[in-house]
Structure 1
Amino acid sequence: MPKTALITLVAATALLGACSDRIKDTHPQQLVSKRQAIFKKFTKTLEPMGLVARGRQDYVKPDFMASALALQELSSQPWAYFTAEGNYPPTRAKPEVWSQPGEFKKAQDNYLAAIDTLVQVAGSADLPSIRASVETVQKSCKNCHDQFRSDRQ
């Protein structure tokens, strides 16, 4: 790569980075970053199961089971990072996470129950049950986001 092209690339990258409105997580414990990373893993793990549920990907029992078990393992992890110390920018959590802890816990419990059901049916090859279970997990995610997650950052 010619030197001028490299300089242009570096300058463009720096300029784009400076224009970003994304707030950095500067908290010493990085609580927001930790829980966001887990939620991203949720999505990455659930997406292939959604494709199977919608008939866009074939059901392969060992793969589907592995995804369901991985999701179950992840499912209990982010909640420990929703502490009073974890309520700072760049959080997308609404104040209701802290002002309505009982409701937030109920949403967590609904999600965990939906995941447990998904694991129970994951190896059954019963596609209607699998489809319904994946849909229940997705709805529990959406319900929690609707109630406790802001679109703003």
Structure 2
Amino acid sequence: MRYPTILIAALISLTLTACSEPQDTRPGQPVDHRRAAFKKILLAFEPMGIQLREKQYKADRFIVQAKELAKLKDGPWQYFGTDTNYPPTHATAKVWSEADHFEADRQAFLQAIDRLVLAAESGEEKQVATAYEAVHDSCRKCHKTFKQ
């Protein structure tokens, strides 16, 4: 009876391993670094959205969060080298084949964050909400084109 249990456990383990993403084994692990940088951006950005969606806007807290986001905004871009289109990336080949378009979207994202910081400094919730949505839209636009 013990044999089938071990066999089932082994099959489950193999199945889970087969479903996992490949590791970034390239020198410097650029895909892992850019994904980690994007995750930091998301972790800084999402609490602001929660404040706005749940009607818990606190201007003093929001400005701190917006400035933290601004510090992180340049993090991932250095890791989009020409030789970084390999698994486990979620970037599409368009990042490299449409580099000018990708750069324009990147610039729009950076500028939207700068406008968010300015709006946060104003303390006006409506202005902040509009600027937050602009950052969110820039993320969504880029993901739609350049992320799998």
Q: TM-score with structure 2 length normalisation?
A: 0.86
2:67 to 46, 66, 69: 69
CA contact (8 A) 2:38 2:75 kept: no
The range that moved more, 82-91 or 134-143, is: 82-91
Find the counterpart in structure 1 of residue 132 from structure 2. 134
Which secondary structure does the structure 1 equivalent of 2:24 belong to?
coil
What letter corresponds to residue 133 of structure 2 in structure 1? E
Is 1:85 equivalent to 2:83 in the alignment?
yes
What letter corresponds to residue 39 of structure 1 in structure 2? F
Which secondary structure does the structure 1 equivalent of 2:46 belong to?
helix
Cα-Cα RMSD: 1.9
1:65 deviation in Å? Answer: 1.1
Identity among equivalent pairs (%): 37
Residue by residue, what CA displacement relative to the aligned partner does 1:78-118 show, whole Å, maximum 9, x if unpaired?
11100012111111111110011110000000000100000
Find the counterpart in structure 2 of residue 4 from structure 1. none
Higher relative contact order (CA 8 A, sep 6+): 1
* Residue-pair matches, total: 139
Find the counterpart in structure 2 of residue 36 from structure 1. 35
Residue by residue, what CA displacement relative to the aligned partner does 1:27-71 show, whole Å, maximum 9, x if unpaired?
1210000000011111111111111222x1522223211111111
CA contact (8 A) 1:59 1:125 kept: no
Q: TM-score with structure 1 length normalisation?
A: 0.83
For structure 2, which runs of at least 5 residues remain unmatched after alignment? 1-5
2:111 to 110, 113, 120: 113
Is 1:48 equivalent to 2:50 in the alignment?
no
1:19 deviation in Å? Answer: 4.6
Find the counterpart in structure 1 of residue 58 from structure 2. 60
